[in-house]
Structure 1
């Protein structure tokens, strides 16, 4: 029985990570139902709106969705749709249908996740490629995530990698975040790369990517179209704005590019 324990622990850890997919989808379902953004497809993955989420959580997801979509759409437009997207740890994400609705579909769209979530596999294709990763790399060791982004840099000569995950993970707020996840059997094995915006960028610059930028979500939130930000802030009263600021300062978007075709990918920014 002792020999089986590591496998049991691994199964528990995998199940805990899979559960975060449901958590994210439920949060996005609630926020979209409140009017933070439109997503007519997420209802097919989460039937019920579920229990009320705190305003800072809704605004955090608003910043996450709009921040990632801004860079993703800019990449596709820069390549004039002659590209492919690889969504790592895609979960129940609805990006494919959103892009289809706005007539911004890439040539290829791949989703990668646990076999129980997505059964699709990636093949080695070398059109301009966008790789998308939202809270995925942090569950790998730094060596594993570095190997992954190095593989991507070696495999795709004209590409962009967008990564959304934790940052500034060395204070009390981040310690509480880690402890809460550990209680759910989620271990953030890649925290070392999440210590700062510089450490996020270095993971890419040291593994073959030509250019990398990173911004925390508070900065991105303040850079979003302020008329729309004002609209969503009227949806719910937020008593403790400091809590939102703390939350957003502990997440970031990092994006890295390689541009053999000289499309100007390094110029894509907020």
Structure 2
């Protein structure tokens, strides 16, 4: 393998945030906030990792639960519409969502997911591909092992339904993603993605590490691809920190800077409304944004809120609210035609109670 370029070497601090997220998820699983039998396979020395503080566990739980609802709804609406959907996780890191869907959706609903794609730096995809090949539980989720192939020098993994692909999302999407996802492959095989099918994009703490121009170009490119198809539904979920122009945000930025981690994508988004503008300005027709604080207060079912409140003692409720108020989940929707609104217009988090 060739040595990393200077740019790749400089991205090492960003890549390290994937391990932070994976260890946080492992901790939330160990403390019984979440169920995920697969994350332990993607965390080095998982049995030796100390638990994270309650504040981190709760934040991880709220984030994961809300995104799970949005993704599950996408699968359900695809089933209602009689179509098979596609999910593209960009900057996927050590995420286990594909395996969780496969395990939880072993019935007919899983059959409505045609393709699941993950894209990340080659250093990350190489490690993940190796972990998948080593673990029976991960390989089992991919189906027939004879259909699972390593590619591109071990940086990629292909299976009939799941694809793990290397790439730097800051590159022009027409150069990186178009040949990777939408161009016919060798031996006459069809492209990995079909823009006429319902397609859901996932960005979990990804765009904030990119320049605003790069992230806008990426979203606009997907919008244009799906507008040309005229029949598909395009959804996008973004999770990241925002509103960092206050005292709390400045502390966060300084702490990350000490680790050589920078957030060029945070500056244009000081408010929840600005998160909506990102979608509308790049061509989506509808958008919504909620902070993790709002989701925890009003969008988590009461029985779940009661269950998780008993898992750990938390005496920092004000600090928790402050942290959760600086992270948001936003989602945008673009429909090929107005007739689709009756089905896909239902997509989104539903308020569980008034506060």
Name the TM-score, length of structure 1 as normaliser.
0.93
**Structure 1 residue 259: deviation in Å?**
1.2
Q: Name the residue aligned to 2:133.
A: none
Cα distance between partner residues in 1 of 2:268 and 2:29: 31
Alignment of 1:154 onto 2:231: no
**Take 1:254 and 1:49, find their aligned partners in 2: how far apart are those partners?**
34
Contact 1:88/1:132 (8 A) holds in 2: yes
Q: Could you tell me how far apart the structure 2 residues matched to 1:140 and 1:102 are?
A: 33
> Which aligned runs of 4 or more in structure 1 are off by greater than 6 angstroms?
none
Q: Where does residue 130 of structure 1 map in the other structure? A: 200
Q: 2:242 aligns with which of 140, 159, 167?
A: 167
Structure 2: runs of 5+ lacking an equivalent = 126-155, 157-163, 166-179, 183-193, 228-232, 350-355
Q: Is the 8 A contact 1:26 1:49 kept in 2?
A: no
Residue aligning to 1:77:
76
**Whole-angstrom distance in 2 between the partners of 1:149 and 1:114:** 19
Map residues 211-230 of structure 1 onto 2, 5 A cutoff: 211-222=286-297, 223-230=299-306
1:16 aligns with 2:13: yes
> Please, which of 76, 98, 101 is the counterpart of residue 99 of structure 1?
101
Instruction: Give 1:52 deviation, angstroms.
Output: 2.6
In terms of mean alpha carbon deviation, does 206-215 or 149-158 score higher?
149-158
- Aligned-pair CA distance for 1:13: 3.4
SS in 1 for 2:69: helix
User: In the alignment, which residue of structure 2 is the partner of 1:114?
Assistant: 121
Partners of 2:225 and 2:311 in 1: CA distance: 44
Measure the CA separation in 2 of the matches of 1:246 and 1:22. 24
2:139 paired residue number: none
The residue aligned with 2:130 is: none
CA distance in 2 between partners of 1:74 and 1:25 (Å): 24
Deviation at 1:221, TM superposition (A): 1.1
Query: In 1, distance between residues paired with 2:205 and 2:291?
Result: 14
2:269 touches 2:275 (CA, 8 Å); kept in 1? yes
CA distance in 1, matches of 2:312, 2:328: 24
CA distance in 1, matches of 2:118, 2:17: 17
Deviations 1:96-153 (Å, cap 9, x if unpaired)? 0111112243110000100121233341231210000000000111111111110111
The higher radius of gyration belongs to: 2
- 1:152-209 residue CA offsets vs partner (Å, 9 max, x unmatched): 1111242100000012221100111111111111110111233111111111101111
Q: Distance in 2 between matches of 1:13 and 1:220?
A: 35
C-alpha distance in structure 1 between counterparts of 2:20 and 2:247, whole Å:
23
Q: Which residue of 2 aligns with 1:27?
A: 24
Matched residues in 1 for 2:9 and 2:345: separation?
A: 40
Say which SS state the counterpart of residue 98 (structure 2) adopts. helix
Match for residue 55 of structure 2?
56
The 3 A distance-change label for structure 1 pair 116 and 150 is: same
Structure-2 separation of matches of 1:107 and 1:49: 37
Alignment-derived partner of residue 91 in structure 2: 89
Gapped runs of 5+ residues in structure 1?
A: 1-6
Q: Within 5 Å, which residues of 2 pair with 1:252-267?
A: 252-260=328-336, 262-263=340-341, 264-267=343-346
Counterpart of 1:246 in structure 2 is 322
CA–CA distance in structure 1, aligned partners of residues 101 and 91 of structure 2: 18
Please provide the CA RMSD for this pair.
1.5
